[in-house]
Structure 1
Amino acid sequence: MEMKFITESLNLYLVAAIILYFWVCRIVNSLWLRPRRLEKRLKSQGFKGNPYTFWYGDLKDAAKMTTDVQSKTINLEDDIDPYVFPFHHHVVQKYGKRCYMWNGAKPRIFVMDPVWIREILQKHEIFVRLYTNPLNKLLITGLIAHEGESWARKRRILNSAFTITKLKDMIPVMHISCMELVEKWQSMFPDTGSLEIDVWPYFSDMSADVISRTAFGSNYEEGRKIFLLQREQVRLVSILSRSIYIPGQRFLPTKTNERMKEISKEIKAILMGIIKRKEEAMRRARNLDDKSNNDLLGILLETNYEEQKGGNGKEVGMTIEEVIEECILFYFAGQETTSSLLVWTMVLLSIHQDWQAQAREEVLEVFGKRKPDFDGLLQLKKVHMILYEVLRLYSSAPLIVRVTAKEIKLGDVTLPKGLELVLPFLFVHHDKEIWGEDANKFKPERFAQGVTKAAKDGQLGAFFPFGFGPRICIGQNYSTVEAKLALALILQHFSFKLSPSYEHAPVPILTLQPKCGAKVILNKI
C-alpha cells in the first residue's frame, strides 16, 4: 500500500515536472529565442533597430522619452512628429525608414512606403488588426474589430446607413447641434469686445450631441449619457495602456478595473433600452406601412430586419449584442474623429488669417447668411481643401498597427507570420520626400487639383486620412460633412484668432488631441 502511494506520488511529480519543463521552454522561446531569431531575420533583410532587451524591449525607453517630451509644449512652427511619437521618431532618425522597435519581446517594423501601406491595407485578411490588449475591446468594438466573413456581413448591413441619400437626410439634425454651439458662444460674449474661449471641450460636446441625434433620434438625451461614460472609459483605458499589459490583470479587483466594468455594463444597459424601444416603435410603424427611419439606429435595425427576414435559415443579420457594439462604435468613432478635425482646423485658421478669410468668402458666396444645405456644402471647394490639409498635418488616426496572419512577401522582404507592422500615417503625411520641403507647412492649395495631384512630383496614394482599401472608414463622408457644416456656421458668425495664452501640445489619445486645449479669441461678425 505504501509502495503504491509512493509510486503514485512519483508519477504526479513526474507529470508536474514535465508540465513545468514545457512551460519554461515556452517562456524561454517567447521571451528570448524567438525574439533573437526574428532580430536576425530582420537584420538579414536590411532592417535596423536597437538590440533586444529581455522582456521589456524598447518599452521602458519609449515610455520615459514620451513622458519627458510631452511634459513640455512646443512652438507652433515646430515639426510635431518628434512630439507626438518621440520614440518612433528617434528610431527612424537613428536607423532610417527601414527600421524596427521592440514592443516588449515582439519586434515592430516601420512601414513608411506608401506603396507598401496601400498593399497592407488592401490585403486586410492577411495584414489583420492587432488586439493583444483586451482593454482595447472596451473601446474598439463593432465592425472595426471583426475580420473575414463576419466583417463582410456587418459591412454590408452598415453600408445602408451611410449612403449619400441617408447622409443628406441627416443634415437638418446636424444643423440643430451645430447651431446650438454658435448660439451658446454668442450668449457668452460680453456687452462689448471679444470672447476668449477654449473651443476644444465645445467641439467635443457638439460632436457627441450630433452623433446622439443622428444615431438615436428622439433618444438623443440618453445618447449624451453614453458619451459621458465613454469619455471616462477612454481616460481609464489610456491610463492603464501606458504600462506593460500583464495577462489577466483586467480580472484583478482593483478600483479602476471595477469602474471600467461598471461603465461597460451601464453603456450596454442604456443602449439595450434604446434599442428595445426603437424596435417596438418600428414594429408599430410596419403595421402602418411607415418606414421613415432617418437615424442611424433605425436604419441599421430596419436593414438588419430585412436581412434576417430573407435569410432562409442562413446566418444573416446581427444579434442584439452586435447591434449594441455598432452603436458604441458610432459613438466612439463619430465623436472622436470629428471633434479632432474641427479643433485643429480652428487652430490653423486662427494662425492663417488669409485662408480663414478665403473660406469665409466662399461660405458667404454660397450661402450668404442662410442655413447651409447639403448641396451647398458640396460646393465649398476651398473649405474642402482646408479640411484635407488639416487631416494631412494633424491626422485623426496618426498611427495604426497590423500583424501578419501568415508568412507573406511585401516588396523585396519576406515577413514571418505574427510580425507586427507600424503604419505611422503622421510621418508619411509629413515626409519631405513625398510632399516637398514645405511638408510641415499649412498649404491647402496642395489639394486644389484633388488628392491624386497633391503630393510632390505627382506621387500617388500617400494620403491616408481615413485609411485605404476595403476597410476604409465607413463614416468618412459623415465626418467630413459634419465638419463642413460646423465650420460654415462658425465662419458665418465669427472671426477668430489664437489667444496669446494658447499652448501647442498635440498628443495621441486615440485621436490627435490638444493636451492644453485650444484657446482662441472670437469676434462677432
Structure 2
Amino acid sequence: MSGVGRGSSVLSLSTFAFSSEWLLESLRGAVKALPKTLVLQAALLFGVSIPTAIACRWLWLIARLKLRMRGLTGLPLPFFSEADLKKKPLLKSNPLVISLDQESGGSIRCLLDCLQTTDGDGKRRWRKLVNLGSSYMNGKVCVMVYDCDFFKEATGDLERFPKEKMVYGVTKLVLGDGLVTSTGSKWAKNRKALTPLFHFNALKESSRVVEKESDVFVKSLLDKAKAKDGQEKGKEQGALVGPSDLKGLTLSVIIQASFGGAFDNVWMARAWKELLELQEPYFASGILFGPEWVSFLPLPSVYRFSQKRDRIIRKVREFVREKKQANKNAPQSKKGSGTTTTGANNLVDQLLNSGVAEETDITDEAITFLFAGHDTTSTALQWALFELSCSPKTQDWVMEEILSLATWTSSEGGGGRKEPSLHVTPDVLASLDRTRSVIREALRLWPPVPWLDRECTRDECLDGVTLPKGTHVALNVWAAARDRAVWGEDAEEFRPERLIAASEDESTRVSHYSMLPFSAGPRNCIGQKFALQEAVVVLAKLLLRFQVDLSEEYKRVAEKNEGEGSVRDKVELVFKITLEPRDVTFCLKPREWSQ
C-alpha cells in the first residue's frame, strides 16, 4: 500500500512536459465535453480557454529563456537531454555532495544512475546528498538524500519531517482525508481503529479470501491456455498475462477486504479500473496548476476523472449508510462475529464498530484502501515474475519448496494421474520461506516508490550542509537497497536466498533502513503484512500450476532497448503510481500435471 500518493512525486519533477499545445488541445476537448450550447461554448473558448493558453505559453517561454541563460538548450521536459548533461558538469569538489541543475537524461533509470559516482578504484557508490534545484511549481529546494541515519530521523519524527505538501495535496484530491493524507488526531484515531484488521487472526481470515480469488484467477488462466493451445497451433503456447490482469486480481481481493461479501464487487472493479485509467493526467494537472485549482480546470481529463470519482464516492457512501442502518437494526447477538476485537472482518465494519461515525471519514478510508491496497501488491508480483523469468534456476529452487508443501491427489480427469494442490493454512504460509524471500527480494531491487517525500519544518544539517526550512527532501530508498557497501558486490543481482540467510544469521543482517519498500516509522504502511501475505499466496498458486517466462513479444521489444547485456539489464522503467517494468507481458505455460 505504500505506493499511494508517493508515486506522484515523480510527476512533480516532470510537470512541464505538458506544453501549451497540449493545453490548447485539452481545452478544446473540454468545450466539446460540456453541454453543447453555442453561447456556453463561445464563452468558455474566448473567456477561459484562450487566455489560459496564452498565459501558459508565456510561462513556457519564460521558463525556456531562464534555462538558456543557465546554459541549457533542452526544453524542460520530464528529463533533460544527454547534451545538456555533458554541457553542465554534475560533480562539485565533494563527490558525495553534488548539485543537479537538471534531473537526468531521458528516463527515470538515467536519473537514478546520475545519483552515483565512481571512486578512484573504479567502483560505483551512491552520493549522499544531491541538490535537484528548485522544483518547478512551488519553488522549494529539492534534495535527494541517502543516509540511513537520516532516514530514521525523517521517517520517525513527524513534526520535523511531515509529508511534502504539494505531492500529498494533490493525492488528497483523489483519496480524500484518509490514512495516507490525514494528519494529527484524526490520523491517530483512524490508524488505531484500523490496526486490528492487520493482526494475526484477521490476517488468517483474509488469507482465505486471497486463496479463493487466486484459485479463480489460476483457473481462468488454465482455461485461457487450453483454449489458445487448441486454436493457435504453432504460436507461443501458454496464457499471456500482463499488469492489468494482476491488478484485476489484487483489486478483487482489496474490494472484499474493504467491503466484505455484501458489496457489488463486479461494479466496483469496473468503476475503479475506469478511474485509474484517468489518474495520471489528473495528478499531473494538479501538480502543474496546484491542488487548489485543478478541480476548476476546463480540461476533459479533469472532468471525466472527477465524474467517475464522484460516482464511486456516492456508491461507497450509500453502502456505508446501509451498513450503519443494518447495525442499528441488528440484535446484539448478531454483532461481533468477525475476527477482530470489534467483531469485524472488513474495513467498513471495523470503522463503524470502532466508533468512527462520520460517513465522510469511512468513505475516505475505503477509497484510500482501494487505491493503495492493490497497486503495490500487483507491482511486487510483476517484478517477482519478471525476475523468476530471467532466472529459471531460482524458479526451480522456489518450486522445490512449494511441491514439498503440496498435497498430491487424483486429478479430476481420472486415469490414475495425480496432481498437486496447495491449501494455504497458517502453517503452510509460515513455511513458504523461499516464496516470501522472492517477493521481498523483488521489493528490495524494485521498490514500489524509489524515494519518499518529506519536508523540513526547520533548518536541518547533514554532513555540514544546511537544509533550509521548507526544503523538499526525497529519501533515496532505491540507493539504500542497492548499496554494495551494505548488500555486497552482488547488490544488484536477484538472490532471494540472501534474505533467508539474513533471517537465520545475525551477522548477515542489514539495517532496517536499508530496505524500505513500505516506508518506516509511525506512518509506515499499515497494510504491509497483508500485502506481503497476498503476494506470497498468489505467487505460490501461480508457480504450482505454471512455468513462468517473459513473452516472446516482450523479449523482442526489450532486445531493442538501449544498453548492453540481457533483457533484465535492458528493462525500461515506467512510473505511474508505482515503479513498473514498461509494457511487460508474461507467458504462463501449464506444468505437466495442469495440462
Corresponding residue of 2:243: 200
The residue matched to 1:441 in structure 2 has which SS? coil
The residue matched to 1:477 in structure 2 has which SS? helix
Aligned amino acid, residue 509 of structure 1: K
> What TM-score does the superposition give when structure 1 sets the normalisation length?
0.78
Tell me how far 1:66 sits from its aligned partner. Answer: 8.7
The residue matched to 1:128 in structure 2 has which SS? coil
The aligned runs of 1:129-144 (5 Å cut-off) are 129-132=163-166, 134-141=169-176, 142-144=178-180
Q: How many angstroms apart in 2 are the aligned matches of 1:292 and 1:224?
A: 27
Does 2:108 correspond to 1:84? yes
Tell me how far 1:155 sits from its aligned partner. Answer: 0.8
Aligned amino acid, residue 519 of structure 1: F
The residue matched to 2:334 in structure 1 has which SS? coil
Does 2:184 correspond to 1:148? yes
Compared with structure 1, are the counterparts of its residues 324 and 97 closer, same or farther at alpha carbon in structure 2 (3 Å cutoff)?
same
Q: How many angstroms apart in 1 are the aligned matches of 2:145 and 2:184?
A: 24
Tell me how far 1:281 sits from its aligned partner. Answer: 2.9
Compared with structure 1, are the counterparts of its residues 516 and 306 closer, same or farther at alpha carbon in structure 2 (3 Å cutoff)?
closer
1:430-453 CA distance string (max 9 Å, x none)? 222322222211111211233697
Q: 429-438 or 153-162: which moved more? A: 429-438
The residue matched to 2:114 in structure 1 has which SS? helix
Q: How many angstroms apart in 1 are the aligned matches of 2:475 and 2:504?
A: 20
Q: How many angstroms apart in 2 are the aligned matches of 1:59 and 1:214?
A: 48
1:273 corresponds, among 309, 313, 318, to: 318
1:125 corresponds, among 128, 136, 159, to: 159
> What TM-score does the superposition give when structure 2 sets the normalisation length?
0.69
1:251 corresponds, among 296, 300, 303, to: 296
The aligned runs of 1:318-337 (5 Å cut-off) are 319-337=358-376
The aligned runs of 1:223-372 (5 Å cut-off) are 223-238=268-283, 240=285, 245=290, 248-293=293-338, 299-308=346-355, 317=356, 319-368=358-407, 369-372=421-424
Corresponding residue of 2:502: 450
Corresponding residue of 2:427: 375
The residue matched to 2:141 in structure 1 has which SS? strand
Corresponding residue of 2:28: none
1:143-188 CA distance string (max 9 Å, x none)? 0112222221111111022111111111222122111110111001
Aligned amino acid, residue 99 of structure 1: V
Q: How many angstroms apart in 1 are the aligned matches of 2:255 and 2:369?
A: 9
Q: How many angstroms apart in 2 are the aligned matches of 1:264 and 1:392?
A: 33
Tell me how far 1:116 sits from its aligned partner. Answer: 0.9
| Structure that is richer in helix per residue | 1
Q: How many angstroms apart in 2 are the aligned matches of 1:390 and 1:465?
A: 10
Contact 1:447 1:453 in 2 (8 A): no
Corresponding residue of 1:386: 438
Q: How many angstroms apart in 2 are the aligned matches of 1:59 and 1:148?
A: 43
Corresponding residue of 2:585: 518
Tell me how far 1:106 sits from its aligned partner. Answer: 2.0
Contact 2:82 2:106 in 1 (8 A): no
Compared with structure 1, are the counterparts of its residues 176 and 471 closer, same or farther at alpha carbon in structure 2 (3 Å cutoff)?
same
Tell me how far 1:87 sits from its aligned partner. Answer: 3.2
1:91-110 CA distance string (max 9 Å, x none)? 55599432211212321111
Corresponding residue of 1:23: none
Q: How many angstroms apart in 1 are the aligned matches of 2:505 and 2:174?
A: 36
Contact 2:222 2:239 in 1 (8 A): no
Tell me how far 1:519 sits from its aligned partner. Answer: 2.8
The residue matched to 1:448 in structure 2 has which SS? helix
2:458 corresponds, among 400, 406, 411, to: 406
Q: How many angstroms apart in 2 are the aligned matches of 1:333 and 1:59?
A: 36
Compared with structure 1, are the counterparts of its residues 424 and 407 closer, same or farther at alpha carbon in structure 2 (3 Å cutoff)?
same
Aligned amino acid, residue 366 of structure 1: L
Q: How many angstroms apart in 2 are the aligned matches of 1:450 and 1:457?
A: 5
Aligned residue pairs, count? 456
Contact 2:282 2:301 in 1 (8 A): no
Tell me how far 1:501 sits from its aligned partner. Answer: 2.0
Q: How many angstroms apart in 2 are the aligned matches of 1:101 and 1:151?
A: 31
Contact 2:444 2:481 in 1 (8 A): yes
Tell me how far 1:253 sits from its aligned partner. Answer: 2.0
Tell me how far 1:307 sits from its aligned partner. Answer: 4.3
Q: How many angstroms apart in 1 are the aligned matches of 2:276 and 2:344?
A: 21
The residue matched to 1:461 in structure 2 has which SS? helix
Tell me how far 1:364 sits from its aligned partner. Answer: 1.6
Does 2:518 correspond to 1:461? no
1:229-287 CA distance string (max 9 Å, x none)? 43134233255368575963441222222212212211111111221222233334344
Does 2:145 correspond to 1:111? yes
Contact 1:109 1:422 in 2 (8 A): yes
Contact 1:350 1:496 in 2 (8 A): yes
2:223 corresponds, among 167, 187, 202, to: 187
Compared with structure 1, are the counterparts of its residues 289 and 456 closer, same or farther at alpha carbon in structure 2 (3 Å cutoff)?
closer
Aligned amino acid, residue 128 of structure 2: K
Aligned amino acid, residue 78 of structure 2: A
Contact 1:436 1:456 in 2 (8 A): no
Aligned amino acid, residue 231 of structure 1: L
Q: How many angstroms apart in 2 are the aligned matches of 1:329 and 1:209?
A: 15
The residue matched to 1:496 in structure 2 has which SS? strand
2:546 corresponds, among 470, 483, 494, to: 494
Corresponding residue of 1:433: 485
- Extract unaligned runs of 5+ from structure 2: 1-58, 60-65, 84-103, 119-125, 408-420, 559-570
Corresponding residue of 1:22: none
Aligned amino acid, residue 490 of structure 1: L
The residue matched to 1:421 in structure 2 has which SS? strand
Q: How many angstroms apart in 1 are the aligned matches of 2:478 and 2:237?
A: 35
Corresponding residue of 1:5: none
Compared with structure 1, are the counterparts of its residues 445 and 91 closer, same or farther at alpha carbon in structure 2 (3 Å cutoff)?
closer
Aligned amino acid, residue 151 of structure 1: W
Does 2:94 correspond to 1:63? no
Tell me how far 1:289 sits from its aligned partner. Answer: 3.4
The residue matched to 2:252 in structure 1 has which SS? helix
Does 2:132 correspond to 1:101? yes
Contact 1:194 1:524 in 2 (8 A): no
The residue matched to 1:99 in structure 2 has which SS? strand
Q: How many angstroms apart in 2 are the aligned matches of 1:323 and 1:59?
A: 47
1:298-326 CA distance string (max 9 Å, x none)? 65444444543xxxxxxxx3521111111
Corresponding residue of 1:11: none
Q: How many angstroms apart in 2 are the aligned matches of 1:487 and 1:122?
A: 33
Q: 139-148 or 330-339: which moved more? A: 139-148
Q: How many angstroms apart in 2 are the aligned matches of 1:279 and 1:493?
A: 42
Q: How many angstroms apart in 1 are the aligned matches of 2:379 and 2:279?
A: 15
Aligned amino acid, residue 209 of structure 1: S
Aligned amino acid, residue 86 of structure 1: C
